[in-house]
Amino acid sequence: MEQAFHYNVSSHGCQLLPWTQHSPHTRLQRSGHCDLFQKKDYVRTCITDNGVKYRGTVAITTGGLPCQHWSHRFPNDHKYTPTLRNGLEENFCRNPDGDPGGPWCYTTDPAVRFQSCGIKSCRQAACVWCNGEDYRGAVDRTESGRECQRWDLQRPHAHPFEPGKFLDKDLDDNYCRNPDGSERPWCYTTDPQMEREFCDLPFCGSEAQPRQEDTTFNCFRGKGEGYRGTANTTAAGVPCQRWDAQNPHQHRFAPEKYACKDLRENFCRNPDGSEAPWCFTSRPGMRVAFCYQIRRCTDDVRPEDCYHGAGELYRGSVSKTHKGVTCQRWSAETPHKPQFTPTSVPHAQLEENFCRNPDGDSHGPWCYTTDPGTPFDYCALRRCDDDEPLSILEPPDQVLFEKCGKRVDQRHSKLRVVGGQPGNSPWTVSLRNRHVPLTGYEVWLGTLFQNPQPGEPGLQRVPVAKVVCGPSGSQLVLLKLERPVALSQRVALICLPPERYVVPPGTKCEIAGWGETKGTGDNVVLNVASLNVISNQECNVKHRGRVRESEMCTEGLLAPVGACEGDYGGPLACFTHDCWVLEGIIIPNRVCARPHWPAIFTRVSVFADWIHKVMRLG
């Protein structure tokens, strides 16, 4: 059992040994039930340094000769005696004398006393092609010699790369990997003063080439890492920033450091394994956006991996979300306790961890995920080509609201937004620290000022506990706050629309934000502007049929009134039945507050069922 753990007699504790030596970072568990790990020396198939610590099971030399048992003295006599500490087990290759050539053994051939076993060093056993995202070697030291931290531990450095969440990244043990599309493989270190470092690994050279079948030009497969087309705008039509530029957005994806990623000009690419091809945008207030206008290749999804209608009858075997996360088994209760199980809805055939739609979700088949931070997500499936898409919009019989959408109206005379006025939009929040890791996000509520003074009455600052991304193409994000907020005149609840509700043309609506005013006012105060809804049919005359049912429009006025940089993600609140209702979300458009040009918003009613589902499932 010395291969697995160290038992401390005095403390009655198990010191688990996930690394190759006793260190202050071994996990200590004082319990009658210890999780035991096999010491890495006994499972490693390559050697570190000169292989003195090698404890593998290779028992044949480079010349193909079987090794002699270390306990035998025939046919070759020797001075070594096997003990519990020196690892001279069976006839396995070892290096008891520290030979620079690595592990060796005495042979069973009387004419050849001993011979090297030719076991490769871990550094040479696997090489790196491109940026090393496919590297699966066993190097566990950084280029400065620091030991790597295990991926499944959060000390000494907390991090988001949990092995169960990134199954395709093979975050095994504490080996060097590249799960985030960095320049080359790296790891977190066991040094509290050094969070992460690159690893010193050899490059494969020109003999290793990318898989040519992954390269596409007019469509994309998988996540689009092989897309090499010339699309250079976002799905909303916003031009992309050049990859070799650092303005308006600074970034690490310099083309010379990612030579195999083809980061030419400002073309959409996926250098970091994101959900789909993307780019930095040319707008200062919008850092990145996906290029969802690029279609998925028709041969990327098997014919059986599509669904009709909402997918209630889908019975295929796809078991991954559209982001590549593996689905949780429907019968499992971890990491998420399911509301739908094989016994509760037997007609839905909730088999294994296959994608299904037991609740008739209008956005298609879904599953609970193996990511503890994501209760559920939609699957990597498409609607069948021969499927007749039904309208996702339907007016409800009756609309009733009670304790939401009320505010105290106070108007001022001085203009603030592009054609707007300062006003009270108590359901508008400001997301702060958004360029730091998620743990630093917080929302500010109850203030009219973009940069409120410390101690301003009514200001509430609440950390963000979770970020949940909406269905593909929705451009929606839900923020779960760490604690409840206090409601007041400047912090109020807005009503959610009924599912699939269509706002009647002519309805009065408002947008709010701290965005660009283009000289029409002061952009340090919350700005509110009034707009009227128009039908999608009328809107599509100007936008040439590009407006979808999941979007809605407001009329283009003679004066420049509308949303600009810094307003994105804000509310389009419409006055319905004496209440303010969140009917739309401000999304980037090709132009900012263009006169006579209708503005496009995400239609919230299409995703109201998803919002309720996220709130219900956590």
- The pLDDT assigned to 473 comes to 76
Cα separation, 109 vs 422, whole angstroms:
93
Helix (H) / strand (E) containing 601: strand 599-603
- The residue assigned the tokens 């004066």 is 559
Beta bridge partners, 327, equal 369
CB–CB of 465/480 below 8 Å?
yes
Topology of 301-390 in CATH?
A: Plasminogen Kringle 4 (2.40.20)
> Are β-strands 196-198 and 306-307 bridged in parallel, bridged antiparallel, or unpaired?
unpaired
DSSP string, 302-348: -TTSEESTTSTT------BBTTSPBBPPTT--SSS--SS-TTTSGGG
Asked, colleague to colleague, whether 301-390 and 428-617 share their fold, the answer is no
- The pLDDT assigned to 284 comes to 85
Mean pLDDT of 218-227: 87
Mean pLDDT of 361-383: 88
Give the tens place of pLDDT for each residue, 230-250: 999 987 788 999 999 999 999
- Structure tokens belonging to residue 363: 């956005």
Which range among 111-115, 461-465, 588-592, 601-605 shows the weakest confidence by mean pLDDT? 588-592
More confident residue, 54 or 6: 54
- The pLDDT assigned to 239 comes to 93
Give the tens place of pLDDT for each residue, 260-309: 899 999 999 999 888 789 999 998 878 888 898 888 786 665 666 788 88
Topology of 428-617 in CATH?
A: Thrombin, subunit H (2.40.10)
Q: Name the nearest CA neighbour of 297 among 354, 346, 229, 242.
A: 229
- The pLDDT assigned to 431 comes to 72
Q: Where does the pLDDT of residue 7 fall: very low under 50, low under 70, confident under 90, or very high at 90 and above?
A: low
Q: Name the nearest CA neighbour of 263 among 282, 286, 240, 284.
A: 240
- The pLDDT assigned to 165 comes to 75
- The pLDDT assigned to 30 comes to 44
Which range among 70-74, 419-423, 437-441 shows the weakest confidence by mean pLDDT? 419-423
* Cis status, amide bond into 96, omega within 30 of 0: no
Give the tens place of pLDDT for each residue, 424-459: 677 777 776 555 555 567 888 887 777 777 777 788
* Cis status, amide bond into 248, omega within 30 of 0: yes
**Cα–Cα distances in Å, from 352 out to 175, 305, 529?**
31, 16, 51
- The pLDDT assigned to 577 comes to 79
- Structure tokens belonging to residue 473: 């193409």
Q: What are phi and psi for residue 449, nearest 5 degrees? A: -105, 145
- In the chain, the N- to C-terminal Cα span, in Å, equals 43
- Structure tokens belonging to residue 8: 């401390």
Helix (H) / strand (E) containing 596: none
Q: Where does the pLDDT of residue 414 fall: very low under 50, low under 70, confident under 90, or very high at 90 and above?
A: very low
Cα separation, 276 vs 172, whole angstroms:
25
- The pLDDT assigned to 2 comes to 46
- The pLDDT assigned to 377 comes to 92
Domain map of the chain by residue range? 4-42, 301-390, 428-617
Contacts of range 77-80, beta carbons closer than 8 Å, 24 or more positions apart: 78/106
Beta bridge partners, 107, equal 67
